[in-house]
């Protein structure tokens, strides 16, 4: 389903995609182009569906002839390879990849400001000195956002994605939200997943099971994922935060990400300091 919400906004609801598309050309709506972008997204999803087993297999990261693969899968592979992690599969970047595909398609049609929100995996394209604000929430249950991120074209941020416990995908950690900024949404997506996995410390209050116990079709067979967070030792949130922040700093100093915000319980850490403002 493709629903026009306004001259500059369209909602796409198709299969696993629930995407809000927003774009304009120097303040003028692009209704037709937005509808066409949504249709393009559907076609790209169909192409990916034809090679889904490859997308869910980490061995595909070493695929000998990636040029023969559909565009979405090629971009997913590239994004995950950037992280240098051995546990992620191409699916770690799927949502961000589709956000990027739609955003870049709209820019090619002349859009100067684009925001594609694919369930929290956001692609941002700001041209001609455009600016925008993004609200960050500390968890999926939060009634509203608690922090504001201000962006402008000069920042060259192309993706803002969030991962964490209670979200659409499995996590190995206990962070309620890990928001990552990067030059593309697909890289931010993979890195948010990775940092979220690192936000962990051993504690009897954390229950983890093998991913296939929850989903026999998961792409992360054999890996433990968090299913419950009970009463924790006083030091556990801080230890988990330190672990996640250490991975974020590694990615940041390597130039892979442009920033991160981690929420664990009542704790919040951001990299670099002052990245966003509390409301």
Query: What are the tens digits of pLDDT across the range 10-32?
Result: 999 999 999 999 999 999 999 99
Portion of the chain with pLDDT greater than 70, in percent: 100
Q: Are 87 and 58 in contact (CB under 8 A)?
A: yes
In this structure, which CATH number among 3.10.520.10, 3.20.20.140, 3.40.50.11720, 3.90.1150.10 belongs to the domain 2-278? 3.10.520.10
Q: So what's the pLDDT on residue 128?
A: 86
Report CA 63 to chain centroid distance, whole Å: 23
Q: So what's the pLDDT on residue 166?
A: 83
Under DSSP, the state recorded for 142 is -
Q: Does the pLDDT at position 270 exceed 90? A: yes
Q: pLDDT for 47-99, tens place per residue?
A: 999 999 999 999 999 999 889 999 999 999 999 999 999 999 999 999 999 99
Q: So what's the pLDDT on residue 169?
A: 84
Q: So what's the pLDDT on residue 279?
A: 87
Q: So what's the pLDDT on residue 74?
A: 98
Q: Which residues pair with 226 in a beta bridge?
A: 208
Q: So what's the pLDDT on residue 110?
A: 96
Sole residue written with tokens 């509203």 = 144
10 Å CB burial of residue 221 (0-12, 13-18, 19+) is: middle
Q: Does the pLDDT at position 199 exceed 80? A: yes
Portion of the chain with pLDDT greater than 90, in percent: 90
Q: Does the pLDDT at position 143 exceed 90? A: no
Confidence of residue 144 (pLDDT cuts 50, 70, 90): confident
Q: So what's the pLDDT on residue 46?
A: 97
Q: So what's the pLDDT on residue 254?
A: 97
Under DSSP, the state recorded for 62 is G
Q: pLDDT for 235-265, tens place per residue?
A: 999 999 999 999 999 999 999 999 999 999 9
Which of 136, 124, 121 is CA-nearest to residue 91?
Answer: 121
- Please state at what angle helix 236-253 crosses helix 185-198, rounded to 10 degrees: 150
Neighbours of 259 (CB within 10 A): 21
Under DSSP, the state recorded for 245 is H
Q: How far apart are CA 151 and CA 74, in angstroms?
A: 28
Q: So what's the pLDDT on residue 177?
A: 96
pLDDT, average across residues 187-212: 96
Q: What pTM value is reported for the model?
A: 0.95
Q: So what's the pLDDT on residue 195?
A: 98
Q: Does the pLDDT at position 167 exceed 80? A: no
């Amino acid at each position: 389903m493709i629903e026009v919400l306004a001259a500059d906004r369209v909602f796409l609801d198709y299969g696993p995609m629930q995407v809000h598309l927003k774009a304009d050309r120097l303040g003028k709506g692009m209704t037709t182009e937005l509808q066409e972008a949504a249709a393009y997204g559907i076609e790209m999803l169909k192409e990916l569906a034809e090679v889904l087993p490859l997308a869910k297999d980490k061995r595909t990261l070493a695929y000998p002839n990636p040029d023969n693969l559909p565009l979405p899968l090629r971009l997913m592979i590239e994004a995950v390879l950037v992280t240098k992690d051995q546990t992620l599969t191409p699916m770690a970047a799927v949502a961000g990849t589709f956000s990027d595909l739609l955003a870049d398609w709209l820019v090619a049609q002349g859009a100067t400001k684009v925001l594609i929100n694919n369930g929290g995996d956001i692609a941002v394209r700001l041209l001609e000195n455009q600016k925008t604000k993004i609200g960050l929430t500390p968890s999926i249950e939060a009634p509203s956002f608690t922090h504001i991120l201000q962006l402008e074209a000069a920042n060259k941020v192309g993706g803002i994605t969030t991962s964490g416990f209670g979200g659409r995908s499995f996590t190995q950690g206990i962070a309620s939200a890990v928001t990552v900024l990067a030059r593309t949404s697909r890289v931010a997506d993979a890195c948010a997943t990775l940092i979220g996995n690192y936000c962990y410390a051993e504690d009897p209050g954390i229950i983890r099971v093998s991913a296939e116990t929850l989903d026999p079709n998961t792409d992360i067979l054999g890996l433990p994922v968090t299913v419950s967070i009970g009463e924790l030792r006083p030091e556990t949130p801080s230890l988990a935060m330190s672990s996640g922040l250490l991975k974020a700093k590694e990615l940041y100093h390597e130039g892979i990400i442009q920033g991160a915000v981690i929420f664990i319980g009542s704790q919040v850490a951001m990299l670099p300091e002052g990245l966003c403002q509390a409301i």
